[in-house]
Structure 1
Amino acid sequence: MSVKVRIGTRSSPMALAQADRVSAALTALDPDVAVEIVPFTTSGDKWMGPLSQLGGKGAFTKEVDAALVEGTCDLCVHCVKDIPGDRDLPEGTVIAAHLERDDVRDALVHPGGLSLSDLPDGSRIGTSSPRRAAQLALHWPRLSPLPIRGNANTRLAKLDAGDFDALLLAVSGLERLALTDRITEILDVDTMVPAIGSGTLALQCRTDDTPVRDLVARLDDPMTSWRTEAERSMLRALNGHCHSPIAGYAIQESEGVLSLHGRVMSLDGSTVLEARESGADATALGTSVAEALLRQGARELIDSLAE
């Protein structure tokens, strides 16, 4: 018997490209699957002010999550980095799969092709991420991070209009939009530690929707899920919010062993707390790294940034 899957997604060009990717993967699994993409314009997409005034990153997911719970769609496609770390998933929903992870790194986009180190003092760097701004202040304090909102296409248009001198964007996002030709520098993961869950798409279903859940589970990449759980476990234990400069990146260190690098910073980059540990149990590893950061004062640092 064929299964119909309505994919709920944000309506931005990148989100629609991500939904198309999932649609293609589902039909490749089973040509009889009927897929419909249901776009939503979320409050985070419409609001151009600070995300903290809308409750943080949940502004990009709550409308789509509500549609899933209400039955308007059967599957949500979320960037893991947009899923809040300080609250549970909506009751009755579950992450059924993580797609194979894309590039986790951050990229500089500069119209003249310069690198961050070559940019003139005071250059205006557009970024909506406290994590990027803090690490920019840490490594390139002579540059000026400025807030920017809107999807990647909107931000690039603002750059081209001269509103900013350069942008920091996700490599994976530019890849999904076929805009990698705009990249002028890719930053290494030890200098610009990635966002929690960077480069990863999560597929969320209703817990009791067995046909869709079983189908979607076949798309899960176990290595990506393993690494994501370590990073998300750290974020949960830190109880980080949308304006917390928290970074974390897990890699496979050896067979059956993960290494997790966690970093918590002040917005101006003057305080940097770091921990790096290894282990086989992703949840325990993330919790342990978080505890190491908390012993260094991460709780006070994160709470000082809450509004």
Structure 2
Amino acid sequence: MVLPEVIRIVSRDSPMALAQVERARAELAAAYPGTATEVVPVRTTGDRWLGDLSLVEGKGAFTKEVDAALLAGAADLAVHCVKDIPGDRPLAAGTVFAGFLARDDIRDALVDPAGRTLDQLPPGTRIGTSSVRRTAQLAASHPHLECVPIRGNANRRLARMAAGDADALLLAVAGLERIGRPDAVSEVIDPDVMVPALGAGALALQCREGDTELIEAVGAIGDGDTLREVTAERMLLHVLQGRCNSPIAGFARVAREGALSLRACVFSADGKTILQAHERAEPHAAKDLGASVGAALLRQGARDLIDGIGCGQSLSGRGQSR
């Protein structure tokens, strides 16, 4: 296997994205000590735009510029947070996933300056989140709390909370750990209480199709269980044709004995309707499992719930109407 002397890694330029790149660099350095890496940061549309993502290509706003740099030859490898990669369209033509790093924590966290849990928050507490998934589940479990829209990277959201734009936040545990702020967590929420985003906690390594030796090298540092879990989750998302503002949640798990399970939910925006499906399969059948769970949700009426949230529908209206 012949690798380049320097592997150029492209990523969003946010603090969290760059922290994710550092993990990939560390694992590459451990596996291939003779190969150096360098970072190619890019500013994406999703990082510049702080409004409704559905107005700027949805989650594709976080990947378009990264894909372009990879395809143009300005970089050799891209690192993505899997939950930021669109599931309703193919991966950028000419690129492939070479592997997935071992998965981090998939759970959501409450960030409350007073150190309270969700159950301890008083009525009217303003929870900062622009996630339809979180908003819908909070509406179902804690209807006395109010969601207010806050977008931007985790550091920006923490700063906005400190400035008074929200009383508390819902953020990803993995994200807070990656930016060195696990101290901000006041409660880690069980995934059976708040079902995570599909792809949560997983980092994807993307290469150009023709770079076979680099694909092989990157694949060797990937994690097999994470590959199976992400494959099932992304197939589910593909079957449901979920967009950035689709109220879809779910997670796959590889059990100790090797069996793969996938639990998924589709919500109405107000949290009053919840569709659920949970199935198990052999670990080699990850795609089939994702397709089967997706089909089960479609039979229950998931298409109507997903399509009921228009691409340009504002989150702020839903969050503040509860």
Map 1:98-109 to 2 at 5 A: 98-109=100-111
Distance 1:100 1:299 in 2: 32
Contact 2:3–2:213 (8 Å) recurs in 1: no
Q: What does residue 167 of structure 1 align with? A: 169
Task: Check if 1:279 corresponds to 2:281.
Answer: yes
Deviations 1:139-186 (A, max 9, x none): 001101111111100100111111100000000001111100010001
- The runs of 5 or more residues in structure 2 that have no matched partner are 312-322
Cα deviation, residue 2, structure 1: 5.0
Q: What does residue 306 of structure 1 align with? A: 310
Q: Secondary structure at the match of 1:269?
A: coil
Q: Name whichever of 244-253 and 89-98 sits farther off.
A: 244-253
Deviations 1:26-56 (A, max 9, x none): 1111111121100001000000110000010
Task: Normalising by structure 1, report the TM-score.
Answer: 0.98
Q: What does residue 292 of structure 1 align with? A: 296
Deviations 1:225-245 (A, max 9, x none): 001111111111001111001
Contact 2:3–2:214 (8 Å) recurs in 1: no
Distance 1:150 1:91 in 2: 28
* AA of the residue aligned to 1:259: S
Q: Secondary structure at the match of 2:229?
A: helix
Q: What does residue 65 of structure 1 align with? A: 67
Cα deviation, residue 254, structure 1: 5.2
Deviations 1:73-113 (A, max 9, x none): 11110000000000000111000010000000000000111
Q: What does residue 20 of structure 1 align with? A: 22
- The runs of 5 or more residues in structure 1 that have no matched partner are none
Cα deviation, residue 135, structure 1: 0.5
Distance 2:301 2:269 in 1: 15
Cα deviation, residue 285, structure 1: 0.6
Distance 2:292 2:212 in 1: 34
Distance change (3 Å), C-alpha of 1:269 and 1:216:
same
Cα deviation, residue 211, structure 1: 2.5
Distance 1:181 1:162 in 2: 19
Q: What does residue 242 of structure 2 align with? A: 240
Distance 2:130 2:11 in 1: 21
Task: Normalising by structure 2, report the TM-score.
Answer: 0.94
Map 1:1-307 to 2 at 5 A: 2-3=3-4, 4-253=6-255, 255-280=257-282, 281-307=285-311
RMSD across aligned positions (CA): 1.0
Distance 1:131 1:153 in 2: 21
Contact 2:11–2:41 (8 Å) recurs in 1: yes
Contact 2:109–2:189 (8 Å) recurs in 1: yes
Distance 2:155 2:164 in 1: 15
* AA of the residue aligned to 1:180: P
Q: Secondary structure at the match of 2:97?
A: strand
* AA of the residue aligned to 1:287: A
Cα deviation, residue 253, structure 1: 3.6
Contact 1:2–1:34 (8 Å) recurs in 2: no
* AA of the residue aligned to 2:309: L
Q: Secondary structure at the match of 1:260?
A: strand
Cα deviation, residue 65, structure 1: 0.6
Q: Secondary structure at the match of 2:191?
A: coil
Aligned pair count? 307
Distance 1:42 1:289 in 2: 33
Distance 1:205 1:83 in 2: 14
Distance 1:304 1:275 in 2: 20
Contact 1:265–1:301 (8 Å) recurs in 2: yes
Once the two structures are aligned, what percentage of the paired residues are identical? 57
Cα deviation, residue 200, structure 1: 0.3
Contact 1:105–1:189 (8 Å) recurs in 2: yes
